[in-house]
Structure formats: C-alpha cells, structure tokens
Amino acid sequence: MLQYSIRRLLYIIPVLLGVCFIVFVLYNFVADDPAITLLGKHATVKQAAELRKELGLDKSYFLQYVDIVRSAFTFDFGRSWSSQQKISEILSNKAGASLSLTIPAFIISMILGISLSLIVSFFRGKAIDNSIRVICIGMMSISYLVYIIIFQYFFAFEWGLFEISGYESGFPAFIPYVALPILITVVTSLGPDIRFFRTIMLDEIYQDYVRTARAKGLSERVILFKHVLRNALVPIITYIVIQLPFLILGALLLESFFDIPGLGGELLRAINSNDFPVIKAFTIMSAIAYMLFSLLTDILYALADPRIKLQ
C-alpha cells in the first residue's frame, strides 16, 4: 500500500502540470484582457500597457506558464489583484468560516442519509418506503435557491428562530449563524442521498450471500445492518469521499445569501472582478484536493474490503 501511495502521489505531478496548462490557456486565450477589465473600457493604451507590466502580463507565454507551475508547487499564489492581499492569507482567513458550515452539514447529511436508507431498505415495498421515496423526489424537484429564500424568510425573518445573516468567528459564537445554512444543506441533500444509498442497499440485498444468510436463520435486521451495510461500503466510500474536495470551496450560494465570509463568497468576488490570481489559486487547490482524496478513496477501499488489492 505504501508503494502504491507513493506512485499515486508521483502521478499528481504530470496531472498538475496539465491543470496549470489548462488554466494558462483559458486565461490567456479565452478570457478578456485583464488590464482592460480592471481599468475599464475607457483606459488608454499606455495605462493598459503599464498595468500589464505591473501584473507580469508582458512576459512571454512560456514564462507566464512557468509562474503558474511554480505557484502550484510552492503554494505561493502571490497577491490578489483587487485587494492586494496575499492569497495565502485570504485562504487561511476564509477557510474557517466555510468549513464551520460545510463540515457539520456534510456529516449530518451522511449520517441521516445512510440511516434513513437502511430504514427504507428494511421496509422495502411497504408504505414507509414508498412515502419516503415520493418525498425525496419532491424535495429534489425544488430549486436549491427556493429552499434558501423560504427558509431564510420564515425561519429567520418571520419566526426569528435563527440569525438571518452575518457571522462571528470562534466556537461557539459561529453556531447561531451557520445553523440555518446547515439545516438547508441537510434538507436539500437528503433526497439524492437517500435515493442513492437505498439503491446500493437494495443491490446488495438481492445478492447470493443474503439468501444464504436467510437460509441460516439470521434475522432481516442482522442481515441488513451487519452484512449488507458492510458490503455496500465501497460505493458509499466513493460517494462520500468524492464530495470532500468541494467542502473546501465552501457553499457559494449559502455564503452569499447569509453573508458568511467564506471561500465561496471570495471565489464569487474574484470571478466578478476578474481576479485571476485568486481564481488560479482556487482552481489549483481544488485539483490537488481532488487527486489526494481520490488516493484516499482507493486506500479506504482496501481497508473496507480485504479482497481489494492495491497494485
């Protein structure tokens, strides 16, 4: 497993070079001229040339690509074009607010999703199973934005059960401000989570080993919670771990509506202001996180199922 992990970590290098190249191409050949975007359409040619030199855009394409690669491997992404703040400071300052929202929401969603899927699998074909499936489809049919508006209006504005917006750093001061966004995330996640986990559970229920367990006289509860759940861990791990990199980016809509100073809101600001260094940092960090969590997924496969060998 150690040799496999080292080899996979080395694979990150060419993939990261490819990501840097894509970022370079999109920014230099697809996006608008940042000098004109930052100065406005009435900027003179001289002003635009001076700004390009200040931002390092007057360098050759090769040197600009080298700068992107260097930043990816050193994690030194320079400064924001709009705020002149170091991007490493932006990431460290904003990460706490985002993670205080996304991590609790993710954990609660996964626990509820797996638990309810086990229940509906246990009562498959019965009224409770059919009712929960109908509710899940109905929940998935409603826009995420509708949930935010309705919950914010009724739970926060009308009934005053939660803070309507804002954020305070430090535990437990941030809890009242992230409680409603967490509730919205959990509610919107239950529909797809339950349907996905239920499908996995039912696929396992009809396997031969389940029929053998029933023939041995094991109860349906023991079969479901001890055997089916364990054998369904591989797709469950895939579903869970593949979502972890996106927790780092925060919840863009929720942070915007609830005025939470997290990474999602910072990314939105960077996109609106064409702040390329910040966008570049988010893109590269997301790619690295995705590759690392992909490696973690394979390792967890081997731990969950001894039959899987990493080669």
- Indicate whether 79 belongs to any domain: no
Query: At 138, which CATH number?
Result: 1.10.3720.10
| 263 Cβ contact list (under 8 Å, min separation 6) | 91, 94, 95, 97, 98, 248, 249, 250, 255, 282
Residue 296 lies in a domain: yes
Tokens of 298: 């394979």
Number of domains into which the chain is organized: 2
Shared domain check, 279 and 151:
yes
Domain membership of residue 227 (yes or no) is yes
Q: What is the pLDDT of residue 185?
A: 93
The DSSP code sequence of the chain is -HHHHHHHHHHHHHHHHHHHHHHHHIIIIISPPHHHHHH-TT--HHHHHHHHHHHTTTS-HHHHHHHHHHHHHH----B-TTT--BHHHHHHHHHHHHHHHHHHHHHHHHHHHHHHHHHHHHTTTSHHHHHHHHHHHHHHTS-HHHHHHHHIIIIIIIS--S--S----STTTTHHHHHHHHHHHHHHHHHHHHHHHHHHHHHHHTSHHHHHHHHTT--HHHIIIIIIHHHTHHHHHHHHHTTHHHHHT--HHHHHHTT--SHHHHHHHHHHTT-HHHHHHHHHHHHHHHHHHHHHHHHHHHHH-TT----
pLDDT digit string, tens, across residues 212-258? 888 888 888 888 878 888 888 888 888 888 888 777 766 788 888 89
pLDDT of amino acid 104: 94
Positions in the chain short of pLDDT 50: none
Q: Are residues 159 and 234 in the same domain?
A: yes
The per-residue pLDDT for 100 is: 92
Has residue 103 been placed in a domain? yes
- State whether 219 and 178 are in the same domain: yes
Query: What is the model's pLDDT at position 188?
Result: 92
Q: Which residues pair with 86 in a beta bridge?
A: 79
Tell whether 186 and 280 lie within a shared domain: yes
Q: How far apart are the first and last CA of the chain?
A: 8
Residues 230, 134 share a domain: yes
Nearest to 285 by CA among 248, 311, 258: 248
Enclosing domain of residue 163 = 94-304
Whether 280 is in a domain gets the answer yes
- The residues that bridge with 79 in the sheet, in sequence order, are 86
Residues 203 and 174 occupy one common structural domain: yes
262 and 182 in one domain?
A: yes
Task: From 292, 293, 290, 246, select the one nearest 267 (Cα to Cα).
Answer: 246
pLDDT score recorded for residue 153 = 92
| d(C-alpha 35, C-alpha 235), whole Å | 47
pTM of the full structure: 0.84
Residues 121, 215: one domain?
yes
Residue 273 within any structural domain of the chain: yes
Are residues 162 and 45 part of one domain?
Answer: no
pLDDT on residue 181: 94
Residue 107 is predicted with a pLDDT of: 94
Of 203, 207, 200, 210, give the one whose Cα is nearest residue 238.
200
Residue 113: both structure tokens together: 């999703």
Does one domain contain both 16 and 122?
no
